[in-house]
Amino acid sequence: MPVLDWTRTNLDFEVSDNSTALRFEADAFAAFELFLLKRPGAEKDYSEAQKKKAEAFFKKSTSEEQKKLIKNIIAGLPGAEEGYSLKEFNAILATYNKVGPKELKANLFSFLAEIIPSAEKAGILMCIHPDDPPFPILGLPRVVSTEQDIVDLYDAVKSPNNGLTFCTGSFGVRADNDLAGMVERLGDRIHFIHLRATKRDADGNFHEADHLEGDVDMYAVLKALVLEQQKRIKSGRQDIRMPFRPDHGHKMLDDLKKKTNPGYSAIGRLRGLAELRGLEVGIRRSL
């Protein structure tokens, strides 16, 4: 994901049980691009209907709401607290003007070709995280969003050390990603698992749902992962442990009073962990 890590427009979206979740709202993001960031050429990426909705969103938003939207999108970078100004952000986006999906994939595959031999010698399993959201934003290319992207990645460097972080939340935002099928077909090189569920709609909006709800069939996904682990055990593989985490939990209960990193408060993820472990035990007992 060039420039930014996962991208959301609302970090405190209230859900039905009064906990809060991360949310991506398409109209808000378009308003940010078109009227706040004013990215050159951004208007080409939106239909007339989308531009009208973005303008309506922008006109009804207050200056404080606009500042918060900017902060939510570009205030922090992965592993750092500092952020960009709008001018700086446009400048760094411009460095990718001549980099499309083809060029970015070529760069990624060249990088992997250089490092995977060293990873093999050191016994390190590399695993790439998919795009979040898994579609183009800000004029930037996306190259780890679909099953075909992963097939291309696997084929580029044919090594078990060149693998995947299987994030059900990222892949699940796209209705055309068959998550359980992806585990069945790509599972032999899945080295890390992020289990979370997202709820999407036809307008391109989505938010983090409860771990066992949303659009991710967590039962089917977890069953496929358990079966993949059993295959590894039977074939004598050494990497039979498949670490996972309950990703992006809701902010709830006492955590609502605390300052936490968005998506990474304790209680919501602990609830998700309990639910996922219970589901896993039920699946294993039924096989």
Catalogue the active-site residues.
129, 167, 194, 247-248, 264
Number of alpha helices (DSSP H) and beta strands (DSSP E) in the chain: 10, 8
DSSP-derived letter for residue 140 is B
Tokens of residue 247, six digits: 């990703």
CA–CA dist 199, 92 (Å, integer): 31
Report the first-to-last Cα separation within the chain, whole angstroms.
38
CB atoms within 10 A of CB 144: 23
- Residue 260 CB partners (closer than 8 Å, separation 6+): 251, 266
3-state helix, strand, coil in the chain (%, to 5): 50, 15, 35
Q: How far is CA 116 from CA 85, 125, 159, in A?
A: 36, 9, 8
DSSP-derived letter for residue 262 is T
Residue type (1 letter), 87: K
C-beta separation of 51 from 30 below 8 A: yes
Task: Tell me the β-bridge partners of 52.
Answer: none
